[in-house]
C-alpha cells in the first residue's frame, strides 16, 4: 500500500494500515527534514518513507494508493497509476471500510466544522455514543478503534476528501450549501459541485439526506436523490416548508406529515447571522431524526457557542465589539458574516484570492459598513471590485495590525470590527487559525492601550 502525503490523515492512514499488517510506503513531496516528527515513529513501526518527491515506480507497484486530501489527483504519478488501473482512495474511504456503527457526514462550502461539532454535541449530550472527526482535524481512520456498534461517527467531509470515495455511504448526509470555492483545485464550479455530490451518489431508501432548501444547488441534489429513491429532509431559514425544519417569526418549527411542533425559539440561538441559523437547523434536523428529544436539543443549542475563528466574539472595548471570522476564506462566507450585522460595521478583507469574484461583497457592505480595510495580495483586486459601489472609506494597510488599529480609531461606541477576509491566509500567515490568533492578540493590545490611555 502507498500512502501519499504526510499530513494528519496520511500519517494516521499509514499507521492504521501498518497495524493491519500491510506493507506501507509513505510518499511526500517535501524534503525529509521538513516532515512531521511523527514520521520517524512510523519508520520505527516498519513504514517505508520516500521524501523529496513522488516516485512513479512506487505508485505503479502499489496494490492501492491512499491519497491525502491536500494532494491533487492531477499529480503526475497519480495520473499514471490511475491510467494503469491502480485503485486510488482517500482516508475517509479507508476508514469507512472498517468503521462500526452508524455515520453522519456533513459537507458544504461554509459551516461544515460548526455543524459537525454541533451534531456531535447534540448526539453526545442526549446520551448517544458519539465521536467526531474528518476534515475537522481528527483523521477518520483514527476513530475506527473506538467506534461502537451502537454508536455514531460524525464526519466533516471536504470536497477534496469526497473526490476519493467509492463505497462511502453514511446513514445520514448533510449538505449545507455550495458556493464557488477551491476553483484553483477543481478548475470549474461544476467540478466542485460534482465532488460535493459524490457524498450522495450511493444513497438509497435506507439513508437520509438533509438539504438546505434555500441553496441554488439543492434541486440538482434532490433530483439525484429522487432517482435513487433516497428520502430527503429539508431545512430553511427563509421560508416555511411543507415538510422539514423552518423559521416562522421567532419560532423554529419542525413539520412532518402535516403535523408540526415548535422545537426552538430564536432566542435559544446565541450565534449571529443567518448562516449560523442554517447550521443550527441542519444540526437539529439530524438530532430529531436519530431520536434526540426536542427539549434535549434545545438545551444543547442554548449552550452552544460555536468554534474559534468562526464568528467568534473576541472582546468588547470602548463600546466597540470585535468579531473574528478568519475562517471566512471565500466571498460567500464573508458575505454572510457581513450580513449578520445591521450597521456600524468596519470590515477587514484580503489575503490570497481563491479565483473569486469580489463584486458581490459590495451589495452586503453598502447598507451596513462604515468602512473597509484591505490587506494582503488581493487588496488591489478587492479595491477594484468595490470601486464605485461604496461611498464608505476603503483603505489599504500593510498588515493586519495596522488595519485593526486604523479601524479602532474610526469606530465609535456601538460599532463592530469584523475580520472576514474572503481570502486564504497564506500570503501573511500559516493558516486561517494563525491569522485569527494574530487578530485576537492585536485586539487585546488595542483594547489594553485604550484603557491605559483613559486611566
pLDDT at 355: 65
pLDDT at 27: 96
Rounded CA-CA distance 285/184 in Å is: 33
pLDDT at 335: 94
Q: In CATH, which of 1.10.3470.10, 3.30.70.20, 3.40.1190.10, 3.40.1390.20 is domain 92-303?
A: 3.40.1190.10
Residue 378's φ and ψ, nearest 5 degrees, are -85, 5
Rounded CA-CA distance 55/4 in Å is: 11
pLDDT at 416: 97
Within its chain, how far is the Cα of 82 from the centroid? Answer: 28
Would you say domain 312-454 falls under CATH 3.40.50.720? no
Question: 26: how many CB neighbours lie within 10 A of its CB?
Answer: 28
**Can you tell me whether residue 1 is helix, strand or coil?**
coil
- Domains of the chain by residue range: 2-86, 92-303, 312-454
Residues labelled as active-site residues: 112, 135, 182
Mean pLDDT by 10 residues, the chain (455 residues): 95 96 96 92 95 94 96 94 96 97 96 95 98 95 97 97 97 94 83 95 98 96 97 96 96 93 93 90 97 96 90 93 95 92 96 88 95 97 95 96 97 97 96 97 95 77
pLDDT at 180: 80
Question: 56: how many CB neighbours lie within 10 A of its CB?
Answer: 14
**Can you tell me whether residue 267 is helix, strand or coil?**
helix
DSSP annotation of 138 reads: B
Rounded CA-CA distance 105/200 in Å is: 10
Cell of 223: 433530483
- Residue 267 to residues 271, 298, 416, Cα–Cα distance (Å): 10, 11, 21
2-86 with 312-454: one CATH topology?
no
Q: In CATH, which of 1.20.1200.10, 3.40.50.620, 3.40.50.720, 3.40.50.10490 is domain 2-86?
A: 3.40.50.720
Amino acid at each position: 500500500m502507498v500512502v501519499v502525503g504526510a499530513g494528519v490523515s496520511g500519517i494516521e492512514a499509514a499507521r492504521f494500515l501498518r497495524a493491519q499488517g500491510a506493507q506501507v510506503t509513505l510518499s511526500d513531496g517535501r524534503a525529509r527534514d521538513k516532515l512531521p516528527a511523527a514520521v520517524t515513529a512510523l519508520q520505527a513501526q516498519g513504514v517505508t518513507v520516500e521524501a523529496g518527491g513522488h516516485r512513479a515506480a512506487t505508485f505503479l507497484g502499489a496494490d492501492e494508493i491512499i491519497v491525502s486530501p491536500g494532494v491533487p489527483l492531477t499529480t503526475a504519478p497519480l495520473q499514471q497509476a490511475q491510467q494503469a488501473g491502480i485503485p486510488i482512495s482517500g482516508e475517509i474511504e479507508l476508514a469507512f471500510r472498517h468503521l462500526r456503527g452508524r455515520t453522519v457526514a456533513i459537507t458544504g462550502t461554509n459551516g461544515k466544522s460548526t455543524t459537525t461539532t454541533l451534531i456531535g454535541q447534540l448526539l453526545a449530550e442526549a446520551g448517544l455514543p458519539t465521536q467526531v472527526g474528518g476534515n475537522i482535524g481528527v483523521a477518520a481512520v483514527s476513530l475506527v478503534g473506538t467506534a461502537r456498534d451502537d454508536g455514531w461517527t460524525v464526519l466533516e467531509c471536504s470536497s477534496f476528501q469526497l473526490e476519493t470515495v467509492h463505497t462511502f455511504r453514511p446513514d445520514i448526509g448533510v449538505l449545507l450549501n455550495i458556493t464557488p470555492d477551491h476553483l484553483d483545485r477543481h478548475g470549474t464550479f461544476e467540478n466542485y459541485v460534482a465532488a460535493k455530490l459524490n457524498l450522495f451518489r450511493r444513497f438509497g431508501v435506507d439513508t437520509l439526506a438533509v438539504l438546505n432548501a434555500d441553496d441554488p444547488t439543492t434541486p440538482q441534489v434532490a433530483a439525484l436523490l429522487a432517482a435513487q429513491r433516497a428520502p430527503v429532509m429539508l431545512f430553511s431559514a427563509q421560508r416555511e416548508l411543507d415538510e422539514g425544519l423552518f423559521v416562522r417569526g421567532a419560532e423554529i418549527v419542525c413539520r412532518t406529515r402535516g403535523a408540526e411542533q415548535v422545537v426552538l425559539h430564536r432566542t435559544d440561538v446565541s450565534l449571529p447571522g443567518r448562516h449560523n441559523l442554517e447550521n443550527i437547523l441542519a444540526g437539529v434536523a439530524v438530532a430529531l431524526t436519530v431520536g434526540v428529544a426536542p427539549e434535549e436539543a434545545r438545551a444543547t443549542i442554548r449552550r452552544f457557542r460555536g468554534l474559534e475563528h468562526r464568528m467568534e466574539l473576541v472582546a468588547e472595548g470602548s463600546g466597540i465589539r470585535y468579531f473574528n471570522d478568519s475562517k471566512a476564506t471565500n466571498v460567500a462566507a464573508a458575505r454572510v458574516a457581513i450580513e449578520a450585522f445591521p450597521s456600524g460595521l468596519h470590515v477587514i478583507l484580503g489575503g490570497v484570492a481563491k479565483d473569486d469574484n469580489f463584486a458581490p461583497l459590495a451589495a452586503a457592505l453598502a447598507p451596513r459598513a462604515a468602512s473597509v480595510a484591505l490587506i494582503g495580495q488581493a487588496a488591489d483586486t478587492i479595491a477594484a471590485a468595490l470601486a464605485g459601489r461604496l461611498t464608505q472609506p476603503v483603505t489599504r494597510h500593510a498588515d493586519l495590525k495596522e488595519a485593526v488599529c486604523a479601524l479602532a480609531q474610526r469606530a465609535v461606541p456601538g460599532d463592530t470590527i469584523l475580520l472576514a477576509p474572503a481570502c486564504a491566509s497564506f500570503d501573511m500567515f500559516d493558516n486561517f487559525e494563525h491569522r485569527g490568533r494574530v487578530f485576537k492578540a492585536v485586539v487585546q493590545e488595542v483594547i489594553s492601550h485604550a484603557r491605559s490611555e483613559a486611566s
